[in-house]
Structure 1
Amino acid sequence: MAISLNVYLVTDGNGREAVEFYRDVFNAEVLAIQTFGEGPSSPDHPIPPEAKDRIMHASLQIGGSVLMLSDTFPGMEHTIGNHITVTVNTDTADEATRIFNKLEVGGEVKMPIQETFWSPAYGSVTDKFGVQFQISCTPNNA
């Protein structure tokens, strides 16, 4: 049986910016992006004008993984939480450092990228969207 895990992020109206940011950081391919306005409509549940351009669903191919995200629907509470940590494993320290350096722009470094006993390059950063990342180089295992 094949099992894959995907990280799903929820943004607060800046989903399109997040898609472009992660596309650039990870050299990702945007697989899908759909706004609430592009989704099916129902007279019983009309889409308010302020929701039409928000992201209903997006997915990005990053190596062998898929990152998914959506915006909140207007009126829904958006909570930036610390319960989601995305672990990014690379096979070179240079790539780990490159990704870390891009994620830290506008974000907050929790642990600078550095050599640790388990990795030649490890760091922890919360990006400008409030998402926590652990970046780690794992040679021969990425």
Structure 2
Amino acid sequence: MSIKMMPYLILDGNGAEAVAFYVKALGAEVMALQTFGGMPQSPDQPVPDEAKDRVANAQLSIGGAEFMLSDNYPGMAYQLGDQVSVCIITNSKEDSEALFNALADEGTIHMAFQETFWSPGYGIVTDKFGVNFQISTEA
């Protein structure tokens, strides 16, 4: 199994400002940045205007170390102290799902493991110790 782990920061609508700050303060290189408005749209669930400019996902690199960040979606609960999760990325949907299921044991599932437009298998879970994980499979 190929596996990567990296920090994932969740912000409350100021993701673009945070990206610019980390570029200036830490010399971060922006490897990718997508807004909610730039994602494929579903007619059944249109993105509200107040979400379109929020960061859906940004990938940054600092001296070879990578981290990601996004804004929370408007209306989703946001509590200080929950801004960091651990993102685990594998190259196998089966491995990702096994990790997700293992972490979900006695934990809380926030997004069921499922196919998304960016990943063949992705889910969000808080383990029984209160640590937030995003499990993803490389496309």
TM range (shorter): 0.5 to 0.7
Residue in 1 aligned with 2:12?
12
Q: How does 1:42-57 map to 2 (within 5 A)?
A: 42-57=42-57
In 2, Cα distance between equivalents of 1:71 and 1:81:
15
Higher normalized strand content (fraction of residues): 2
Residue in 2 aligned with 1:112?
none
CA 1:3–1:10 in 2, change beyond 3 Å: closer, same or farther? Answer: same
Stretches (4+) displaced over 4 A: 82-85
In 1, Cα distance between equivalents of 2:14 and 2:82:
18
Give the unaligned 5+ runs of structure 2.
86-139
In 2, Cα distance between equivalents of 1:50 and 1:42:
16
Give the unaligned 5+ runs of structure 1.
86-142
Counting aligned pairs with the same residue, the percent is 53
Q: State the structure with bigger RCO (CA 8 A, min sep 6), 1 or 2.
A: 2
CA 1:36–1:82 in 2, change beyond 3 Å: closer, same or farther? Answer: closer
Q: TM-score, normalised by structure 1?
A: 0.55
Q: TM-score, normalised by structure 2?
A: 0.56
Residue in 1 aligned with 2:78?
78
What are the superposed Cα offsets for residues 28-85 of structure 1, whole Å, 9 maximum, x if unpaired?
A: 1100111000000010110001000000000101112111000010000111107849
